[in-house]
């Protein structure tokens, strides 16, 4: 685990460095497909995406790990079962290790009763309790929402310009005030559909989530059609990241878009003429 450095630089490094290093062995594998190169690529990609991360969130291992799985399968479609088994075991190991670390060294003392387990699932799968809080927040604070609130939601997590926006005038703030009965805590995550209640009303509250799902499908399509490792690598990560947004919200999504998607799409555009093409027989 790495801490104390800029998380944005770390996130970019985790995407760019393994791609640069893995490309060396992908070239070698294209010339001579031996097992050594296969395992070298797996080691490089998983080392950066499973062993280096900020914080102690299990999502910081699960999301990059899942993206790595799809990327490696794209390169080695004939080794799907072997890749899936190996990467899944490593993701599970890191996830369990983080859980033990949180309980043992950080004193979180998580007790996994049925109640805490269902509460955990609520936060990840937008359960009725979370939706109830969002509905209540809409009922109580509809008059507090305005266009500035929307722009704060969208741009308050954007690098370099976030300082121009009010972190307290956001739908997530209204949601947290509701959850904590006016308390100062701000760690509860309003679901995307909850933000949709404020943005587009009750009937069309699903629209922000549908937008994210649509973007996920577009990235997945580009991943499927990719014939170069750069596109395959980034699209696998974007598709997984967008797909996981059901447990987050539109504000977190927009922050990811501004901090990662936009600059990396620019990188894709600038490097489209210097692609490392995968062997046709390895693309199915």
Cβ–Cβ < 8 Å for 133, 178: yes
Residue 250 structure tokens: 């539109």
More confident position, 234 or 127:
234
- Mean pLDDT, the chain, rounded, equals 81
Q: How confident is the model at residue 186 (pLDDT cuts 50, 70, 90)?
A: confident
Consecutive H or E run containing 98 = helix 80-104
Please name every residue paired with 154 in a beta bridge, in sequence order, or none if there are none: none
pLDDT at 170: 93
* Residue keyed to tokens 């009937």: 203
Q: Judge whether residue 280 has pLDDT over 60.
A: no
Domain parsing of the chain, residue ranges: 7-107+209-282, 114-205
Query: What's the rounded mean pLDDT across residues 70-77?
Result: 91
Write down the H helix ranges in 180-206.
Answer: 192-200
| Dihedral (CA of 50, 54, 58, 64) sign | negative
Tokens of 169: 């005038």
Which pLDDT value is given to residue 70?
92
Residue 111 belongs to what H/E stretch? none
Q: What is the pTM of this model?
A: 0.78
> What's the pLDDT at 153?
92
Query: What distance in Å separates the CA atoms of residue 139 and residue 133, rounded to the nearest whole number?
Result: 10
pLDDT digits 0-9 by tens, 82-129: 899 888 888 888 888 877 776 665 555 555 565 665 666 666 666 778
pLDDT on residue 210: 92
């Amino acid at each position: 685990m790495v801490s104390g450095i800029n998380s944005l630089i770390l996130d970019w490094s985790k995407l760019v460095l393994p791609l640069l290093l893995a490309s060396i062995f992908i070239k070698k594998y294209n010339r001579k497909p031996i097992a050594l190169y296969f395992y070298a690529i797996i080691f490089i990609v998983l080392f950066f995406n499973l062993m280096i991360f900020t914080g102690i969130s299990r999502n910081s291992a699960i999301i990059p790990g899942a993206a790595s799985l799809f990327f490696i399968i794209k390169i080695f479609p004939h080794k799907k079962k072997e890749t899936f088994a190996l990467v899944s075991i490593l993701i599970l190991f890191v996830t369990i290790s983080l859980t033990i670390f949180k309980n043992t060294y950080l004193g979180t003392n998580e007790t996994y009763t049925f109640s805490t387990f269902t509460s955990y699932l609520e936060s990840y799968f937008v359960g009725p309790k979370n939706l109830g809080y969002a509905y209540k927040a809409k009922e109580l604070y509809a008059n507090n929402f305005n266009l500035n609130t929307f722009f704060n939601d969208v741009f308050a997590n954007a690098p370099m310009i976030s300082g121009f926006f009010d972190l307290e005038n956001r739908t997530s703030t209204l949601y947290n005030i509701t959850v904590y009965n006016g308390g100062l805590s701000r760690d509860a995550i309003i679901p995307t559909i909850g933000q949709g209640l404020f943005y587009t009303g009750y009937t069309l509250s699903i629209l922000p989530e549908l937008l994210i799902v649509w973007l996920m499908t577009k990235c997945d399509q580009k991943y499927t059609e990719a014939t170069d490792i750069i596109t395959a690598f980034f699209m696998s990560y974007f598709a997984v990241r967008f797909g996981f947004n059901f447990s987050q919200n539109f504000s977190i999504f927009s922050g990811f878009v501004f901090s990662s998607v936009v600059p990396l799409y620019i990188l894709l555009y600038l490097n489209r003429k210097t692609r490392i093409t995968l062997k046709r027989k390895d693309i199915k």
